[in-house]
Structure 1
Amino acid sequence: MKHLSGLDATFLHTETPETPMHVGGLHVLELPSGYKGDFYEDVKAHVQSRMHLSEVFTRKLALMPFELSNPVWVDDDDVDLDYHVRRVTLPRPGSSRQLEQYVARLHSTLLDRSRPLWEFFVIDGLQGGRVALYSKLHHAGIDGQAGAAFAEAIMDLTPEPRVIKAPRQMARRNRYQLGVAELAGAALTNTLQQYVKLVKTFPDMARAVKSLVVPQPTNQAGSLWKLPKNLNLLGPRTPLNVAITNQRAYAVRSIPLAEVKQIGKRLGASLNDVVLGLCAGALRHYLSDHGKLPRKPLTAAIPVTLREPGDTTSNNQVSMTVMTLATDVADPIERIKAIAESSAATKSLMGSIKAAIPTDFPSFGAPWLMSGLASMYGRSRFADRLPPVANVVISNVPGAPVPLYFAGAKLLTYYPVSIPSHGMALNMTVQSYNGMLDFGLIACRRAVPDVDDIADYLVEEHRALLAKVKALDTPATAAEGVPASPPAKAAAARPRKTPARKTASRKTVARKPAARKTATA
């Protein structure tokens, strides 16, 4: 058995029917030329041959008696692939909107906790003869960085799947669950170990608290302590900040990575700063349309990894910070500059306390209490009345820079599917893949039924921002009294165009489900 950390178990204890705690991905796949086989059967065979490469496939939960302590992971030596890998056929015409709606429906249902916490859906019937793969994994066993490592186990770099050595045959134990005494003993031992870990972190936690309030020499009367700059604890109320249902709405878009990097380089901002700026512009447009844009800037909850480089353990090592989105600034360039300033302050703050943030902590007697409080919070609709800690969740996950293949088919997209929650009904997650930024917007359908509009505004914001950045480099004309740059230098300064991607209008993109919904200049 393997104990869940306190952070891992929190995703289980706070899960309710309205807030499923699983993450996933949507991949549109291009089958090999002349393919005549049954891709669903190929996927099952492919997964069967790779299951031993990741413990996510073969571990399940064993619950503690009376839920007095966190569950443990145990091996399941009888995984039912016909249950975990399923086939879905879209009705005609098999549009991209139909695909998004079906994925939203699949993402709204809880995973079966008596089985390993993952499901794959092979979706056919798409226009153009392509297929899609929707994956669904519980957040209790995986975060963004661990998800990238999981993908490496099942993906390949060439159309021909690499040869995987078969696992060593192990004797089957035929034990569906562990005994009560065995579980109780394990719970007690693990709780004591967690208390020891917590005590050992006290010195780091003390230093972190001290770094939050730094003494400042001053000749004026008053406090000698100064809080960090740009520390914004609460966001304004918006239609996004309500209690949610289990119904979901989902939309995807893609933006060329090179163009986003070009914007960041010209403005002296990071890639993540530009992503936040694009999301901020889309939300500003959306709320303005509804007459709900607050004067106070929106804030975003941003996941921050706590992993050491090279750590691919299948668990959660992540924390959360809050940043301003500067939605009170109308100009997109000035908005990104404000976000970059806030980002620098936040990174400095997180750098000083990162080592002291615990991911494992004792929770003896807490699981049933946490579950009860999570259910009560949702049903009481406190989120409709309390000020939000943040207005939206925005996450940026680095992915593969080269094409990947799954069961011989080429991945054309890598759209993330994440988690909205009470008080933050919209989650905007982006993953880089093969020269593109793939955005997945998941929301409560009751709170944000028109999430597709936000996705469109995201694309429009990128195009407008790219045009403004290019205009900054446009030489003044002779009519303005400033000589133009020599042709050779002007050509050298001109941004390099992204190859092999055609510009598509908004309506044209919406009619092509099998291709990415891209934004180009």
Structure 2
Amino acid sequence: MARTMKQLSGLDATFLHLETPEMPMHVGALHVFEIPPGQTGKFVTRLRAHIASRLPAAPVLRRRLWWMPLNLANPAWVDAEPDLKQHIVEIKLPPSAKLGDGQAALEEAVSQLHPVLLDRKRPLWKMHVLEGLANAPDGSRRVGLYTQFHHAAVDGQAAVALAQVILDLQAAGRDLAIRPSSRSKVFQLGWQEMLRGAIANEASQVAQIVKQLPGTAKALAGAAGAALQRTQLLAGDQATPSNLTLAPRTVLNQSVGPGRAFAAISLPLDRLKASARTHEATLNDIVLLLCSTALRRWLGQHGGVPRKSLVAAVPISLRAKGDTSSDNQASMSLVSLGTQVADLRKRLAHIKQATSAMKATVGGLKSVLPTDFPSIGVPWLMEALTALYGKAKVADRIPQVANLVISNVPGPPVPLFMAGARMTANFPTSIVVHGMALNITVQSYDQQMDFGLMADAAAMPDVRTLADALRVAFDDLCLLDDELNAPPTLADTGLAVAAQAGKRVQGGLSSMGGKVGSLVGGMVGSVVKRAVQGAVSGAVKPAAKPAPAARKALAKAAGKRPRTIKA
């Protein structure tokens, strides 16, 4: 029986041990669905039936925690039969949800629901059907859906894999051809087999760590050498961004409370990809640029922009290609956002260099970064330290390595359906922790990029203002792109011709030698440029006579008295 026990990995269990009422450790999304006119009945009823049909292919939805005796080591997963009336519930939105698109009402609902911890006696997920939205322009009924999944069960990529099971490519759904499982279900474990399994797992992990030590040491040495070399280069080039630095203290870097504030926006994906091509950047660089630009605007209204660049904690996936398992396989890196740079193009250049440096450092470490480690005694230690860290408000006193979390998760490129309804938006909702009171998670969906902004309600109650600043940042980027991609105008061509003609005339006269040749060459070059510019504009104006000081200098250089020189 012990062989059937699946103990949580060290990384998965960490999200359990870190969870407190002030730091809920679940992720999810705010979805908006359009229900076709012909579909009758309650959406919550259809959704329960739909999820029931997909449960055999979604093991993450039908398992729960089984705790180690005395919480000595990480818990294990055991089978569970979820009560879908408890896991999928309906909530009526206030009448204000009928106004406009109801976005404000949806965001407020998420702000109120997100701090509620998931019941650890049940499978660690829940869905809230949000009824009461105004109909879509075509008359289709609209409904919101706020989903919660504990981070101990899924990471970003695992959530995408789960979505591939419960979502469809067409309203009619699909037949998954699910075969009945022959595995014997385990609904509980005895304490003896739990301890035997934990000890065996511990021994296996220690042996694996010892086996990997030479490779790990080599990878760490290589990364340290590269980081040292880069740091030495940075010392001689202050314009080059460094990710290896402490973050400046802002209002975001404080201990968080139990309240949350949520906001969301969508931006056109094709325009963001076009911006990436224009600037020879990645799509992730453009996302970081928008966040950086919006933060500059928001901080300018809340105490000023720090002289030192803000630093983002950026999750990186350690998952092998094709791996759809529902555990956590991710780590965290740091990226300088260049918020101290006022010019948009220079800020993007800063971010491109910072992300390049991050990839160079992390690339050699991805294979050795751990997702599992020995856990006996760890639950006691981590839970005690987490409680002490929060109660003592340590985050308010010590320097932080990052100001916020920015996560970009690739999503489906086509529209998706669930229970016959079409999904029109998919705004991610994620975690804020002590010291980093803002999390911006971004996911592409169909033809759009959906931004979900989760903040501590005390640190950033006006998170909607930041979401609006993201839209302004997008408009600024579009203006820059249009300027760079615009074809040359007649005026631009004329001025270019004038500049070249002026240089040639000036060069020819200057070759005469002496101060007279140089001065006359410069004057004639200016006249030629002005004449071409006037011709382009359609009206050539006579050049003004040289100023008295210029005439005096010219005459003195030629050894003659000043006289009037006609242009």
**C-alpha spacing 1:2/1:482, structure 2 compared with 1 (3 Å):** farther
Aligned to 2:255: 243
Distance in 1 (alpha carbons) for counterparts of 2:343 and 2:230: 34
Q: Does the aligned pair in 1 maintain the 2:110–2:146 contact within 8 Å?
A: yes
What amino acid is the match of 1:103?
V
| SS, match of residue 24 in structure 1 | strand
Aligned to 1:28: 32
- Counterpart among 441, 454, 467 of residue 453 in structure 2: 441
**C-alpha spacing 1:359/1:258, structure 2 compared with 1 (3 Å):** same
Higher relative contact order (CA 8 A, sep 6+): 1
Which ranges in structure 2 are unaligned for 5 or more consecutive residues? Answer: 136-140, 235-241, 497-567
Structure 2 length as normaliser, TM-score? 0.81
- Counterpart among 127, 139, 146 of residue 134 in structure 1: 146
Q: Does the aligned pair in 1 maintain the 2:432–2:439 contact within 8 Å?
A: yes
1:109-508 pair list within 5 angstroms:
109-128=116-135, 129-168=141-180, 177-214=188-225, 230-482=242-494
Distance in 2 (alpha carbons) for counterparts of 1:215 and 1:236: 25
Q: CA deviation at 1:209?
A: 1.7
Aligned to 1:69: 73
Distance in 2 (alpha carbons) for counterparts of 1:54 and 1:398: 21
Q: What is the percentage of aligned positions where both structures have the same residue?
A: 45
Q: Does the aligned pair in 2 maintain the 1:249–1:448 contact within 8 Å?
A: yes
Q: Does the aligned pair in 1 maintain the 2:426–2:450 contact within 8 Å?
A: yes
Distance in 1 (alpha carbons) for counterparts of 2:229 and 2:175: 64
| SS, match of residue 31 in structure 2 | strand
**C-alpha spacing 1:69/1:469, structure 2 compared with 1 (3 Å):** same
Q: CA deviation at 1:171?
A: 9.5
What amino acid is the match of 2:90?
R
1:92 is the counterpart of 2:77: no
Q: CA deviation at 1:112?
A: 0.7
| SS, match of residue 127 in structure 1 | coil
What amino acid is the match of 1:331?
D
Over residues 294-334 of structure 1, what are the superposed CA-to-partner deviations in whole Å (9 max), with x where a residue is unaligned?
10000000000001100011000000000100001111121
Over residues 54-97 of structure 1, what are the superposed CA-to-partner deviations in whole Å (9 max), with x where a residue is unaligned?
11111110111111110011111x32111001011102131211
Using the TM superposition, name which of 92-101 and 393-402 deviates more. Answer: 92-101
Q: CA deviation at 1:231?
A: 3.4
Aligned to 1:15: 19
| SS, match of residue 35 in structure 1 | coil
Using the TM superposition, name which of 163-172 and 81-90 deviates more. Answer: 163-172
Structure 1 length as normaliser, TM-score? 0.88
> Which of the pair has more CA radius of gyration?
2
Distance in 2 (alpha carbons) for counterparts of 1:176 and 1:352: 41
Using the TM superposition, name which of 175-184 and 267-276 deviates more. Answer: 175-184
Aligned to 2:41: 37
Structure number with higher helix proportion = 2
Distance in 1 (alpha carbons) for counterparts of 2:161 and 2:187: 28
Distance in 2 (alpha carbons) for counterparts of 1:350 and 1:34: 52
Q: CA deviation at 1:176?
A: 5.3
**C-alpha spacing 1:167/1:192, structure 2 compared with 1 (3 Å):** same
What amino acid is the match of 1:102?
A
What amino acid is the match of 2:225?
V
Q: CA deviation at 1:168?
A: 2.0
Q: CA deviation at 1:226?
A: 5.7
| SS, match of residue 414 in structure 1 | strand
What amino acid is the match of 1:107?
H
Give me the CA root mean square deviation. Answer: 1.9
| SS, match of residue 213 in structure 1 | helix
What amino acid is the match of 2:107?
E
| SS, match of residue 469 in structure 2 | helix
Aligned to 1:513: none
1:79 is the counterpart of 2:91: no
Over residues 358-378 of structure 1, what are the superposed CA-to-partner deviations in whole Å (9 max), with x where a residue is unaligned?
111112111111011011101
Distance in 2 (alpha carbons) for counterparts of 1:75 and 1:9: 18
Q: CA deviation at 1:227?
A: 6.1
Q: Does the aligned pair in 2 maintain the 1:301–1:320 contact within 8 Å?
A: yes
